[in-house]
């Protein structure tokens, strides 16, 4: 597995990471713990060293799973987790709203250290920007945790350029995690140039469009009530039908490259910048192997230009999230 550095931070991780959320949260009921532990071990064996989790995934279930499964590999893997939500008092799935007050950040850090079974959190992201707390206070709180040895690197998720700059001025930001794929290209206009200027790495989540870019989802696909895609405007039957043109394009390129649509989608991301590290999630071993195979897919300048021209003719239908969730992004 190739390695990449997240910006100027010196944090080196595998070129592809593994998003662990779906093992416990959002995509139906939590998966079997033993099976997911075996999958996490298989990922390490295949060279993946970068794993993504969060307090809110469960809540707590995902951090506990990742912490226990990766305990034998302590010091050999990088685990990213997140703070920034006020959880429900009964610890049921979901959250009340954002909460990045410094005292809350400290509480989350201490609890995450316990669940992850580590002495320091490798990469600690603010999960979403909190409009009630100045980003300088957030960055300052994480800076204190870094000085105390509880956190190694600071990250932000779904932040806009002004927020990134303000945070970076207080505590250097190692990585931004935001949605980015051939299906969601918002970061290209302002965010990616800013990251390049400041030397910040980029960790795209949902690099396969929450499964859509794999080609395994179409307008007839039914999502259960515990699958959050059932609430997303982009996953209505009408939007899925309209967006099929993008999958058809990936399939055509994949056929020429003897690859799969998912591999082309990931290879495209990897080709954008050398400091981009996508974190596709999966709960299946054959999908893990398929995703890892994307690292070996080479897209030439001609390939990339062809993709650009073809995608420019496709209009993506449907917003990423319902309006109340979209408002929580800082883009």
Q: What is the pLDDT of residues 21-50, one digit of tens each?
A: 999 998 889 999 999 999 999 999 999 999
Average of pLDDT values for 296-322? 93
- Is 80 exceeded by the pLDDT of residue 327? no
Residues in the chain: 331
- Is 90 exceeded by the pLDDT of residue 297? yes
Distances (CA, A) of 78 to 36, 47, 53, 113, 124: 18, 12, 11, 13, 11
Average of pLDDT values for 264-277? 98
pLDDT band, residue 330 (cuts 50/70/90): low
pLDDT band, residue 89 (cuts 50/70/90): very high
- Is 60 exceeded by the pLDDT of residue 331? no
- Is 80 exceeded by the pLDDT of residue 96? yes
Kindly list the catalytic residues.
57
pLDDT band, residue 329 (cuts 50/70/90): low
Task: Tell me which fold the domain 3-208+273-296 belongs to.
Answer: TIM Barrel (3.20.20)
What local confidence, expressed as pLDDT, does residue 26 receive? 87
Residue 305 backbone dihedrals phi, psi, to 5 degrees: -65, -40
What local confidence, expressed as pLDDT, does residue 94 receive? 86
Distances (CA, A) of 232 to 21, 58, 178, 222: 17, 20, 17, 13
Q: What is the pLDDT of residues 198-255, one digit of tens each?
A: 999 999 999 999 999 999 999 999 999 889 999 999 999 999 999 999 999 999 999 9
Among left, alpha and beta (phi > 0; psi -120 to 50; other), residue 73 is alpha
Cα 6 versus chain centre, distance: 14
């Amino acid at each position: 597995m190739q390695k990449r550095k997240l910006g100027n931070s010196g944090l080196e991780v595998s070129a592809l990471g593994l998003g662990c959320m779906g093992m416990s949260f959002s995509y139906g009921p939590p998966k079997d713990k033993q099976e997911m532990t075996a999958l996490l071990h298989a990922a390490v064996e295949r060279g993946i060293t970068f794993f993504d989790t969060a307090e809110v995934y469960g809540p707590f279930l995902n951090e506990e799973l990742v912490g226990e499964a990766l305990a034998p590999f302590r010091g050999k893997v990088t685990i990213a987790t997140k703070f920034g939500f006020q959880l429900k008092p009964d610890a049921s799935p979901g959250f009340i709203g954002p909460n990045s007050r410094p005292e809350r950040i400290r509480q989350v850090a201490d609890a995450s250290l316990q669940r992850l079974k580590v002495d320091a959190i490798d990469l600690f992201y603010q999960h979403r920007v909190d409009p009630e707390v100045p980003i300088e206070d957030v960055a300052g709180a994480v800076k204190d945790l870094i000085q105390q040895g509880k956190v190694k690197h600071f990250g932000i998720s779904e932040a806009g350029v002004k927020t990134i700059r303000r945070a970076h001025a207080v505590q250097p930001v190692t990585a931004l995690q935001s949605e980015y794929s051939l299906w969601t290209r918002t970061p290209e206009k302002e965010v990616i140039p800013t990251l390049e200027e400041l030397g910040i790495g980029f960790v795209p989540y949902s690099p396969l469009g929450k499964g859509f870019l794999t080609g395994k989802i179409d307008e007839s696909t039914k999502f259960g009530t515990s699958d959050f895609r059932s609430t997303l405007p982009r996953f209505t039957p009408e939007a899925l039908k309209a967006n099929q043109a993008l999958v058809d394009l990936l399939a055509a390129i994949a056929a020429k490259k003897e690859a799969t649509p998912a591999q082309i989608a990931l290879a495209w991301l990897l080709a954008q910048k050398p400091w981009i590290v996508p974190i596709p999630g999966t709960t299946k071993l054959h999908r893990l192997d398929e995703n890892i195979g994307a690292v070996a897919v080479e897209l030439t300048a001609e390939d990339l230009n062809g993709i650009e021209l073809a995608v420019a003719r496709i209009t993506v239908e449907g917003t990423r999230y319902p309006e109340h969730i979209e408002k929580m992004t800082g883009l």
